[in-house]
Amino acid sequence: MNGATLDVNAIRYPGEKGAFGVLLVGSFLTLAAFVVVLILAPQAGLVILFYAGLLLVVSWLAKVLAMASVRGHGIRVTENQYPAIHEYARHFAERLQLKKLPEVYVIQSTLMNAFATKVIGRRYVVLYSHLVDAALETGDYDEVAMILGHEMAHHAAGHVRWHAFLTLAFWLPFLHSFWSRRAEYTCDRAGMLLVNKLQPSLQGIVKLAVGRKLASSINLAALRQQKDQVSAEIGPKIVEIFSTHPLTIKRVVAMEEFAQAGSLR
C-alpha cells in the first residue's frame, strides 16, 4: 500500500468549500437571529428554545440508540476480526492523518452501502454485510477498501463534524444538499487515491447502483453516454437537486475523469 499522507483539502471537489462557507455563515446568522428574538421577545424566544432543544435531544437520543444497536448487533472490525479490512482502516487512518482510528462495524443488510457517523465524540464507519461478502468471497478487498476509504475521508474532511450544524442554514434552499453532493465527490476522490487503483474504485461505486454481480459487466463507455443523456434532461436534474448524493452515473464518470487528469500514481 502507498504510505504517503493524503491531504483531503487538496482534492476537495469544486464548489464544496464555497458552499460550506455560505452554509457556515448562514448557520451563525440563524443563531444570531435567535439571540435577537430572545432579547426582543423573551417569551417567544423561550418557546423556540424549548422546542429546538427538545428536537435536538430527541435527534441526539435517536442517533445514540441507533449506534448502540449497531454495536450490539453488528460485528466490530479489529485485528482479530476481519483483519484484512482492519489493516486497510488502520493504514487509511494514518494516511488521512486521523488522530484516532474510527470504530468500524459490519451490519447485516442486503443493500450495498456504508456510512460514517460520530456519536458522543466517537467516530464510526459502518459497512453493510452485502458489500463485505463480495470481498470475502473473492479475496479481493480493493473495492470494499475504496468504500471504506470514502467513509473515513468524511471524518478527515470534517463532513461528519459539521453536517448537523450546517442544517441551521435551512432557509438557504437546496444549498445543504448542494454541499453534501460535493462532499461525496470529494470522498470518492479520496477513496480512489487511498486504494490507488481506478477499476476497483469504479466498481465499488457501480456496485452501489446495480449490485455485485452486475457491476462486473458494466460498459463504461455506454455509462458515459448515459451520463451525457441524463445530464441534458430536466427530470434527473430536479431529482439530484433534492438529493444529498450525486447521481451514481455522474460519480463514476467524475472519478474516471479525475484519474485521467493524472491523480493516480
Chain segment 214-251, per-residue pLDDT in tens: 887 888 889 889 999 998 999 999 999 999 999 999 99
Percent of the chain at pLDDT > 70 equals 98
Domain for residue 5, yes or no?
no
Domain for residue 32, yes or no?
yes
Domain for residue 7, yes or no?
no
Domain for residue 242, yes or no?
yes
* Rounded mean pLDDT, 206-213: 80
Q: 65-74, 128-137, 212-221: which has the highest mean pLDDT?
A: 65-74
Domain for residue 1, yes or no?
no
Domain for residue 101, yes or no?
yes
Domain for residue 144, yes or no?
yes
Banded model confidence at residue 139, pLDDT cuts 50, 70, 90:
confident
Residue 156 has pLDDT above 70, yes or no: yes
Residue range of the domain that includes 123: 12-263
State the average pLDDT for the chain: 92
Domain for residue 149, yes or no?
yes
Residue 62 has pLDDT above 70, yes or no: yes
Give the cell for residue 16: 464544496
Number of compact structural domains in the chain: 1
